[in-house]
Structure 1
């Protein structure tokens, strides 16, 4: 069949079942490889009661909360740090913010070993980490755990780049987002 007034051919309408053109979901694959507890839900009534499990990357216990919809841009990490404990140092190519649900402590942020900065926080504190900067959290209490929740834009970033090595082992420094000035 030719489109009227042109020499362009019109494709025939498929009559059978269309093949599934979806590709594997890099974000869902990452969650599975992390072995982290995942809560797919629209509502959390009490952030103090979210069930967590071992999460090696975070150096403690944690969970990921997200709405089961690949078009939504955020997830949320819930992490506990034991009394007197610390998280594992990490950096990544997605944005992250922190809200301290309970406890007190400090966070060290750096781009290189010579530019480490540390600040303190407590229940109710809200802060962000510059993109791809290294950071590590420390529980300042010997008696109570720290719990934080951290919304991220990891889902779309992982789906865009589809490469965990790029996401977690990228040495690029976003100097416009980080200053080691006091």
Structure 2
């Protein structure tokens, strides 16, 4: 009789979920939905590299950095004399990583080339980058706060701090993906192949801008994305705007900026590509949670300079509680996973139960504290 009662209990939703969570714990997998799990990589080429690298480079792990402009950095001599930084390994990502670098006044990074793509955002300071394609004249690109550019694949390049103070850069790269595919660090970092179709040394390469679609532009350098014009994007919610850039012929990294109006939010969404999100203006918070488990949501408060990543295939939703628009830069890999047939994404057009009440309480709280 007791066995029959237990069997009946197992068929209730609560008991099924408890059994599923126990199964996931025993198997060492992440629960992404009521019937969906993700196997955690345990011995990938990237993870083996990371375990060795921990002893040599300043690794930072987590989901969020409160302020990329002020976080303390550590010496990173492999990147150049006097260079400090953090290697960003977030959310168990296996496609993209990040590097936060500060170049001392008058200093530079080492010259390098590599088979992974790299998007660079200038957090502070000024300087320039020298690009040298084999057999071509060197190209020099000046940059300052808010600028965004992408390094053409496998082109030798070197960053220089050109002002009276240090220059701080945030770079997001596809190094984990490429290393996982090639399984050979030296092949990735010391390969002579020249991708002429991506960068041919043309003198206007970093100046040209082409509009491919209402919200899609081809460009290799954008001046101060904090002020760049955006296009309506109501799909993410009323009053939302965006612009997307196809940069440097990239097939692994995609870059876009989106903005929410004051006291408003974006619809919750999720996708199967790693995503680094840097807030450029405004004040608010983001929520992230696995499917069917809103009660397990994590809250990330953000401001200008906060860097945040949602765990793989978790819903995430950005909410602007301030009186001014809130803008963010996102670097992820939707085109890559689409080309692999692994582009899974969806958006909640109807908010989860309890969200609206929570949002109204937050707005009222912000109004009381601000007034």
Q: TM-score, normalised by structure 2?
A: 0.41
For the aligned residues, what is the CA RMSD?
1.9
Paired position in structure 1 for 2:53:
33
Post-superposition Cα deviations, 1:129-168, rounded to whole Å, max 9, x if no partner, equal 1000000011011x31110000011111111111011011
Report whether the alignment pairs 1:134 with 2:134: no
Shift of 1:57: 3.1
2:197 aligned counterpart, secondary structure = helix
Alignment of 1:119-158 (within 5 A): 119-141=141-163, 143-158=164-179
CA–CA separation in structure 1 for the residues paired with 2:120 and 2:67? 17
CA–CA separation in structure 2 for the residues paired with 1:94 and 1:82? 25
Paired position in structure 1 for 2:43:
24
Paired position in structure 2 for 1:15:
none
Whether the 8 Å CA contact 2:134–2:194 is kept in 1: the answer is: no
1:119 aligned counterpart, secondary structure = strand
Paired position in structure 1 for 2:98:
76
Post-superposition Cα deviations, 1:74-102, rounded to whole Å, max 9, x if no partner, equal 11100010011011000111000100000
Whether the 8 Å CA contact 2:133–2:200 is kept in 1: the answer is: no
Post-superposition Cα deviations, 1:61-120, rounded to whole Å, max 9, x if no partner, equal 1211122314x4211100010011011000111000100000000100011264210010
CA–CA separation in structure 1 for the residues paired with 2:44 and 2:85? 22
Post-superposition Cα deviations, 1:12-55, rounded to whole Å, max 9, x if no partner, equal xxxxxx9xxx7733223334337111111111110012332222
Whether the 8 Å CA contact 2:136–2:201 is kept in 1: the answer is: no
Match of 2:124 among 92, 97, 102: 102
Shift of 1:56: 3.0
Paired position in structure 2 for 1:11:
none
Paired position in structure 2 for 1:91:
113
Mark the runs of 5 or more structure 1 residues left unpaired by the alignment: 1-17
Shift of 1:178: 0.3
CA–CA separation in structure 2 for the residues paired with 1:111 and 1:82? 26
Q: TM-score, normalised by structure 1?
A: 0.81
Taking a change above 3 Å as real, the CA distance of residues 114 and 179 of structure 1, as seen in their structure-2 partners, is closer
CA–CA separation in structure 1 for the residues paired with 2:150 and 2:195? 14
Whether the 8 Å CA contact 2:125–2:167 is kept in 1: the answer is: yes
Taking a change above 3 Å as real, the CA distance of residues 133 and 163 of structure 1, as seen in their structure-2 partners, is same
Taking a change above 3 Å as real, the CA distance of residues 174 and 129 of structure 1, as seen in their structure-2 partners, is same
Whether the 8 Å CA contact 2:127–2:162 is kept in 1: the answer is: yes
